[in-house]
């Protein structure tokens, strides 16, 4: 059977019905979604996704870290697999689009190809990765696929992962088998991910599609300032060793320094805790979690050095001690040039306005890119709002993106 591939389009109404149904799972009062990885809501979403896969006549595949896929096999059982997908989990009270669109569009592409009676040259796999957002361990599912997760990572040697282990166990994920989720690079053709931008570059430039050429690197630190508890009334300003003042100066200084010295960088302090956390005691300890990102790995390292120096300056200025612990580091990634060109070509064929763009958020594509060529398609986020119930992408852009994704898959694998 011969088909005019260029005539193939996603079923937008069906995709939208899926989107609306999924958004109900873990829906929050303000129109957002809470589907934290391995929560009841996440497990319900996976079960719902498995039902959709079966309904479509695709094969359900469930690996050793809980990644859940729908498979459309090639005739040649030895063929490589083109993986397409994203994640169904969300941050607490996040948006409905982040992750969900990429999984649902992948499923829809496979459904259309199957419905059209096409025989792909490569196995096609629409995948939902476990815990992209880092409720437990950021980008857990994709890291497992490239062989970077083993039972040891969830041991208690450094961090208390007891609750994580319990959550995995409850989801039917067995610790000793985690390592078996690893795929051999030679079995995978590549990876494609459709995702909302979560920034406002595309929205501001009125561009329909972003083709991701770089993904930011990211480093996370725990920064703890240690001063001395003292009576809030009787201790003069000169006598204080106020840990919270040091932390406050660091927060202000980090944002200022990054804005002034690293135009492509961003920094966030989103977490702070104070000991003894009593209004009438001078804070003895103030701990921050600081994370910073840059699309260039060497510059990211410079930022790290500058922020360490800043923390030391703040400690000195307020007569404190400071301890810094690097919690996470992920190098910046350059995406596959081959896939960038394939997606460009699909955009041209679809007649949509596209541009190259750097991603300031981490994605499964960034992890998969360490093993196989990975490509990423961004959709405009209205006003750049994300990780927020008001996250919104126009449906016409979702439809365009899904069709660009479908066309890219056709070019590569059908």
Q: Which residues bind a second copy (CB under 8 A)?
A: 91-93, 133-134, 197-200, 216, 218, 220, 228-237, 239, 242, 244-245, 247-249, 251-252, 255, 258-259, 266, 268-272, 274, 276-283, 289-291, 293, 359-362, 381, 384-388
Beta strand pairing status for 281-282 and 321-330?
unpaired
Closer residue to a second copy in complex, CB, 91/106 = 91
152 or 259: whose CB is closer to a second copy? Answer: 259
Residue 36 vs 178, nearer CB to a second copy: 36
CA distance 193 to 366: 10
What is the DSSP secondary-structure string of 379-390?
A: EPPGGG--SSTT
| Nearer to a second copy (CB atom), residue 14 or residue 255 | 255
Nearer to a second copy, 381 or 393 (CB): 381
Quote the least distance from Cβ 360 to a second copy, whole Å: 4
Under 8 Å between Cβ of 10 and 19: no
Q: Which ranges of 116-265 would DSSP assign to H, the alpha helix?
A: 140-145, 162-170, 201-204, 243-261
The minimum distance between CB 13 and a second copy, in angstroms, equals 30
SS3 for 368?
helix
Closest distance of CB 387 from a second copy, Å:
5
**281 CB contacts (<8 Å, ≥6 apart)?**
229, 230, 231, 232
- Which pair of tokens denotes residue 251? 């927060």
Q: Please give the Cα distance from 269 to 267 (Å, whole number).
A: 7
Question: Which residue's CB is nearer to a second copy, number 116 or number 232?
Answer: 232
DSSP 3-state of 318:
coil
Instruction: Work out how close the CB of 158 gets to a second copy at its nearest, in angstroms, rounded to a whole number.
Output: 17
Closest of 122, 106, 121 to residue 68, by C-alpha:
106
| Partner residues linked to 322 by β-bridges | 225
Q: How far is the CB of 231 from a second copy (least distance, A)?
A: 4
Q: Spell out the residues 6+ positions from residue 226 whose beta carbon is closer than 8 angstroms to its own.
A: 243, 284, 285, 320, 321, 322, 323
Residue 157 CB partners (closer than 8 Å, separation 6+): none
Length of the chain: 414
CB of 223 to a second copy, least distance (A): 11
* Minimum distance of a second copy from residue 82's CB (angstroms): 27
Residue among 178 and 249 whose Cβ is closer to a second copy: 249
CB of 235 to a second copy, least distance (A): 6
- 67, 181 in Cβ contact below 8 A? yes
């Amino acid at each position: 059977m011969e088909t005019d591939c260029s005539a193939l389009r996603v079923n937008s109404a069906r995709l939208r019905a899926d989107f609306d149904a999924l958004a109900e799972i873990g829906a929050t009062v303000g129109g957002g979604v809470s589907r934290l990885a391995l929560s009841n809501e996440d497990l319900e979403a996976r079960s719902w996704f498995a039902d959709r896969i079966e309904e479509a006549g695709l094969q359900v595949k469930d690996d050793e870290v809980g990644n859940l896929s729908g498979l459309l096999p090639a005739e040649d059982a030895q063929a490589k697999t083109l993986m397409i997908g994203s994640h169904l989990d969300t941050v607490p009270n996040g948006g409905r689009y982040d992750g969900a669109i990429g999984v649902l569009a992948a499923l829809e592409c496979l459904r259309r190809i199957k419905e059209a009676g096409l025989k792909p040259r490569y196995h096609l796999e629409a995948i939902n990765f476990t815990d992209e957002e880092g409720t437990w361990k950021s980008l857990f599912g994709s890291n497992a696929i490239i062989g970077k997760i083993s039972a040891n990572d969830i041991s208690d040697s450094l961090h208390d992962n007891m609750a994580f282990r319990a959550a995995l166990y409850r989801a039917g994920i067995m610790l000793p088998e985690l390592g078996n989720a690893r795929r051999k690079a030679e079995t995978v053709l590549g990876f494609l991910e459709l995702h909302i931008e979560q920034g406002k570059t595309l929205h501001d430039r009125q561009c329909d599609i972003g083709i991701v050429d770089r993904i930011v690197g990211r480093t996370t630190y725990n920064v703890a300032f240690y001063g001395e508890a003292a009576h809030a009334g009787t201790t003069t300003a000169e006598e204080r060793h106020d840990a919270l003042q040091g932390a406050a100066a660091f927060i202000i200084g980090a944002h200022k320094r990054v804005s002034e010295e690293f135009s492509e960088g961003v920094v966030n302090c989103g977490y702070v805790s104070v000991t003894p956390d009593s209004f009438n005691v001078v804070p003895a300890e103030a701990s921050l979690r600081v994370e910073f990102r840059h699309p260039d790995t060497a510059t990211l390292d410079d930022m790290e050095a500058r922020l360490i120096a800043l923390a030391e300056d703040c400690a000195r200025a307020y007569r404190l001690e400071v301890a810094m612990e690097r919690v996470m580091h992920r190098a910046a990634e350059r995406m596959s040039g081959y896939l960038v060109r394939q997606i460009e070509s699909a955009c041209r064929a679809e007649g949509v306005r596209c541009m190259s763009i750097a991603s300031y958020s981490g994605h499964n594509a960034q992890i998969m890119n360490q093993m196989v060529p990975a490509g990423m398609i961004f959709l405009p986020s209205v006003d750049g709002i994300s990780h927020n119930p008001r996250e919104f992408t126009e449906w016409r852009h979702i439809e365009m993106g899904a069709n660009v994704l479908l066309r890219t898959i056709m070019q590569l694998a059908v």
